[in-house]
Amino acid sequence: MLDMLAMTTSYGYYDNTVDVLGLVLAIWGIVAVMMIIIYIPWVIGAWKIFEKAGEKGWKALIPIYNIVIFLQIAGLSPWWVLGTFVNPLNIFVSFYRNIKLAEKFNKGVGYGVLMAFFEPIMYLVLGFGSAEYDANATGEISGVSVSNEEYLKQREEYDKAYAKYEKEVEEYNKKIAKKEEGERSEEEDL
């Protein structure tokens, strides 16, 4: 019995191949379980997000293709998926995709950053939450997400108000210039 525990070979040294193999398999098993624990909520959340965006939910089950669908939902070119295979570009692509995705659901940039850090949890929140998909959403204006039409309307109102302001400033400057000119002519008369 002790000979079996010692696991010595005919060469007289300890053979740890079995121990190393066991350790590697144990670590691999733990990693696999952790990946499953993370992947299942991610797929469930992605499924619901896809359905909200008008896509079929089963597309969330297909690796790489699900990222292409996310990119399309976020309003980005599917070619961005190539960036997910290049380090450290994949980090940028993940953040950018999630920020754009958040904007399409009328959420802010902060929400998109949270989605990049905690994808499984935030995808569940976005998928099962009350947020609605708006394909025309363009981002934030003063903290409020708006659609493209609303943005153009707000921009037109802003341009009108700014033009009015510029006109008032010009009139004020003319009054000041006339007043200064009048004061100069009085000084010259003296």
Residue 20 lies in a domain: no
What is 111-138 written as a DSSP string? HHHHHHHSHHHHHHHHHHSS----TTEE
Same domain? 105 vs 154 = no
Residue 2: the pLDDT is 46
Q: CB neighbours (10 Å) of residue 181? A: 10
The mean pLDDT value for 64-78 works out to 92
- Can you give the residue range of the structural domain that contains 161? 148-190
Same domain? 90 vs 157 = no
Same domain? 155 vs 78 = no
Separation of alpha carbons 3 and 81, rounded Å: 56
> Could you give the count of Cα atoms lying within 13 Å of 127 in the half-sphere of its Cβ?
22
56: pLDDT confidence band, cut at 50, 70 and 90?
A: very high
Same domain? 95 vs 60 = yes
Say if residue 47 is exposed, middle or buried (CB neighbours under 10 Å; 0-12, 13-18, 19+): buried
Residue 190: the pLDDT is 63
Count of domains observed in the chain: 2
pLDDT in tens, 132-159: 998 887 765 444 555 667 777 888 888 8
Residue 16 lies in a domain: no
- Phi, psi (rounded to 5 degrees) for 31: -65, -40
Residue 163 lies in a domain: yes
- Phi, psi (rounded to 5 degrees) for 145: -75, 140
Beta-bridge partner residues of 140:
145
